[in-house]
Amino acid sequence: MASVIAFTGPGPSVPDGVVVAGELVAVTFCVWLLVAALFLGRCFGILPEARGLVTAGPYRLVRHPVYLGEIGACSGLAIAAASPANMLVLAALVAGQAVRMRLEERALTDAFPQYASYAARTPRLWPRFRLAVAGGILDAAKPFVERAPTPSHHPSRADLSGVAGEG
């Protein structure tokens, strides 16, 4: 949040189209951030710690969708109001979030044995979107298909909520 406050507004020489494009990027990532925060539910917190392991929704695509939303939204602001000062603010935000991700991942690895396999199959910050040539589906959607319940499988509450550790 402090990084948003540190941004300066667009200068008079920034074309309106660039400002609008940057603002659209910022709003899009703000929506992504909101959805990710809603999926976190009671696991949301400011300081990195293991409150629960969420693997549903945007957490199927990346391990840190809230941080992706923050970085993306601030990137949009930096596009809309490009300046050396704003690029410095963005760089500081990215560096800070990188530290936060590492601390959070250490805590999650210690608290949840299944985190290692989740981390191995899920990118840290940017989703893998590759179109399959024959199937026409996105690789990122495969976990949805592969984990679909079969008639002989009755999903547990943890399967439905996407939060490990609840029962």
pLDDT of residue 83: 86
Strand partners, 45: none
- Report the distance separating Cα 6 and Cα 44, nearest Å: 24
Classify strands 163-164 and 53-54 as parallel, antiparallel or unpaired. Answer: antiparallel
Ordered by start, the domain boundaries in the chain are 2-153+159-163
Q: What is the pLDDT of residues 91-120, one digit of tens each?
A: 999 999 999 899 989 988 988 889 899 999
Residue-averaged pLDDT of the chain:
76
The pTM score is 0.69
- Report the distance separating Cα 64 and Cα 56, nearest Å: 12
- Report the distance separating Cα 167 and Cα 163, nearest Å: 9
For residues 62-70, average pLDDT:
92
Between 38 and 47, the higher pLDDT residue: 38
Residues 6+ apart with CB under 8 A from 104: 48, 49, 50, 64
Given the candidates 3.30.310.10, 1.10.8.60, 1.20.120.1630, 3.30.10.20, the CATH classification of the domain at 2-153+159-163 is 1.20.120.1630
pLDDT of residue 3: 53
If pLDDT is split at 50, 70 and 90, which confidence band does 147 have?
A: very low
Which tokens hold the place of 10? 């667009």
Look at 13-17, 91-95, 132-136 and tell me which has the smallest mean pLDDT. 132-136
Q: Is residue 155 pLDDT above 70, yes or no? A: no
Q: Is 147 helix (H, G, I), strand (E, B) or coil?
A: coil
Asked if 57 and 72 count as a contact pair (C-beta separation under 8 A), the reply is no
